[in-house]
Amino acid sequence: MSGVTILYGSETGNAQEYARYLSKRLRYLNLSPVLSPLDDFPLKNLVTDTRFLIIICSTTGQGELPRNAKRFFKFLLRKKLPGDLLSHLEITSFGLGDSSYPKFNYAIRKLHARLMQLGCQELCLRCEADEQAPEGVDKFYSEWEFALTSTLQTKCNVVELDAEYVLAPETPVKVVDSEPDIDTLGDASIATSRPELRVGTLVQNKRVTAPDHFQDVRHITITAENLKYVPGDTIALYPSNDDESVEQLIQSQPHWIPFVDKPLEISGRLPHIEGGFIDKNRLTLRSLLKYHVDLSAVPRHSFFFSLWHFVDSSSEDGAREKEKLRDFSKFEDSEDLYNYANRPRRSILETIEEFHKNLEIPIAYIMDIFPLIHPRLFSIASRPSSTSVEIVVGLVEYKTIIRRIRRGLCSKWLKEMAPNTNLVFSIHDSNISFSNNPIIMVAPGTGIAPMKSLIEEKVIAGSPPLYLFYGCRNHEKDYLFSDVWEGLQQQKKLHFYPCFSRDGSNIKYVQHRLYQQKKLVGELLLKERATIFICGSSGSMPTQVRITLTEILQEIGQLSNDEAAKYLLEMESNGRYIQETW
């Protein structure tokens, strides 16, 4: 048995990208790896079809596994599993983490340790990549991949194929030319194959920041039937490309034009698509491009790994372009790819349009080349309801260094969505729970969304004392739901501490407001055993808040730095320190 299995746990798509690249790389070693999210992999296949197990996993939240890895890990934790269950497996793992978080790479550590307890042997040393490292995650991955591929070549006695060789598509796309065209325009095409998906109706799409504010923040309400959720839960939206972008891509590949509305058959190893394919009876090249292919994504190494093979190099320009695209597929040339794609946020659509004169992508290879659209997760902003759900969305729109306006795929999709439009969504449990002790909430910007849900629910239920530290830029421009907070404060149902970073105050950020109220915060944490709930951007805010809380514990509780840090770790372990960032 020489089976190679690559399993990944990914929240934002980064771990999936590295897993996808590795799968392509191993195919050039004459291996046929199975690629799957951890939760979608049939567990019996670990025993029957796998010899080498490779796991790539990110860490989310407070040392947690991504959503698509939790069921797999839960199975591994069963006490009745024998200690030699996986003794036939050789494993290695690659973790994606951020050392600014206390539980750095906890997810991959937990997975790897448990697999070793079940009898696995080490294939090669695992790697823990750090997003904070100056060399970036790519450097960690490149070194780990080299060690892994060298080991596999020896153990499997395989020889690497020439890079110029074009492998057969792993997921072939075939046009059924004998069938009539299918009209896939309109929202009938949103029918999907997964039962957990819901179809709701957008009834409100209201801008809640001032017209002259730099960011357009939307308060969105969706109605549906039989909804179930609690504060802290998230909603996943499934955006699609606009028709103009789809048409631009089709025109850049003129050999596609006669087939765009013909039915498609997709075979081979189907990639994981959250939500599943749209209704197979409505699957055409046009609908595949609209609902599944991510045209707005910044192209990454795995995209170029396959793409460069389809450049006609018979001309001088073609040869130069082929070499350039090939270089972009190599991790040792990550800086060139960064300058070309990441820095200007160049999209996949723009990349194909730039090279279209010598680039001819076979329809058969579309699923092998293009990344797929991921759902976008948003914290729910409304108290539990069976008929409606609210979210707060900061639309992504900015100018790049090349002075082009960029809009996120989901942002563009939502911005143009009119009331009474149907959309697909699913609701995901957060497994966050709160005791009856006081709750300190820290929320800059759109991090206010889950706080709104929690506060509205707790106020109705007869809550414990609630303390909200909220930060934004300007009192008059992006002070979200000000009437709600000020009203509850007047009713003495909420202790509210806002701050405005651009209005000239010395108290600019939430950590400054916390420190200003250090006696209150310290006593709540130490005497009242309050829970602290932090939500917002994963930049410097969570770290600065934690540093501030450490200082408060030292000053108010007379703790040493180590004792204060240990106290916060104990709060995390006991569910009293909750951090949700993105």
Task: Output the pLDDT for position 188.
Answer: 40
In this predicted structure, the answer to whether residue 64 has a pLDDT above a threshold of 90 is no
Name which of 91-95, 130-134, 552-556 the model is least confident about: 130-134
- pLDDT tens digit string along 245-263? 999 999 999 999 999 999 9
Distance CA 571, CA 575 (A): 6
pLDDT tens by residue, 311-348: 999 999 999 999 999 999 999 878 899 999 998 999 99
pLDDT value, residue 213: 96
DSSP conformation class of 403: S
Share of the chain above pLDDT 90, in %: 80
Distance CA 243, CA 374 (A): 18
DSSP state of 565: H
Residue 269 is predicted with a pLDDT of 82
343-354 tens-digit pLDDT: 899 999 999 999
Q: Per 3-state DSSP, what percentage of the chain is helix, strand, and coil (rounded to 5)? A: 40, 20, 40
pLDDT of residue 565: 95
Q: Name the residue with tokens 């002790």.
A: 437
Please state which of the ranges 185-189, 217-221, 356-360, 455-459 shows the lowest mean pLDDT: 185-189
In angstroms, the CA 140 to CA 128 distance is 8
Q: What distance lies between CA 216 and its chain's CA centroid?
A: 22
Amino acid 2: pLDDT: 61
* Whether the predicted pLDDT of 189 surpasses 60: no
Q: If we measure between CA atoms, which residue out of 460, 466, 458, 452 comes closest to residue 528?
A: 466
Query: Could you tell me the fold of the domain covering 4-156?
Result: Rossmann fold (3.40.50)
Give the pLDDT confidence score for residue 197 in this predicted structure. 85
Is the distance from CB of 172 to CB of 399 less than 8 angstroms? no
> How large is the C-alpha radius of gyration of the chain?
25
Residue 402 pLDDT grade (very low, low, confident, very high; cuts 50, 70, 90) = low
The per-residue pLDDT of the chain, averaged, comes to 92
Has domain 173-182+191-369 been given CATH number 3.40.50.720? Answer: no
Domain ranges of the chain: 4-156, 173-182+191-369, 439-581
Instruction: Name which of 12-26, 265-279, 332-346 the model is least confident about.
Output: 265-279
CA distance 314 to 56: 39
* Other CB atoms within 10 A of residue 525 CB: 24
Q: How far is CA 435 from the centre of its chain?
A: 29
Q: Report helix, strand or coil for 495.
A: strand
> What is the structure's pLDDT at 181?
72
Is residue 257 within 8 A of residue 289, CB to CB? The reply is no
For residues 337 and 331, give the distance between their C-alpha atoms in angstroms, rounded to a whole number. Answer: 9
Residue 399: pLDDT over 90? no
Predicted pLDDT of residue 327: 96
Other CB atoms within a 10 A radius of the CB of residue 252 amount to 17
Q: Do domains 4-156 and 439-581 have the same CATH topology?
A: yes
Tokens of 145: 């991949």
Do the beta carbons of residue 514 and residue 421 sit within 8 Å? no
Please determine, looking at this structure, whether the domain spanning 439-581 carries the CATH number 3.40.50.80: yes
How would DSSP label each residue in 424-450? EEEEE-------SS-EEEEEEGGGHHH
pLDDT for 183 beyond 90: no
Taking the whole predicted model, whether its pTM rises above 0.95 is answered as no
Average pLDDT of the residues in 527-554? 94
Q: Would you state the pLDDT for residue 282?
A: 73
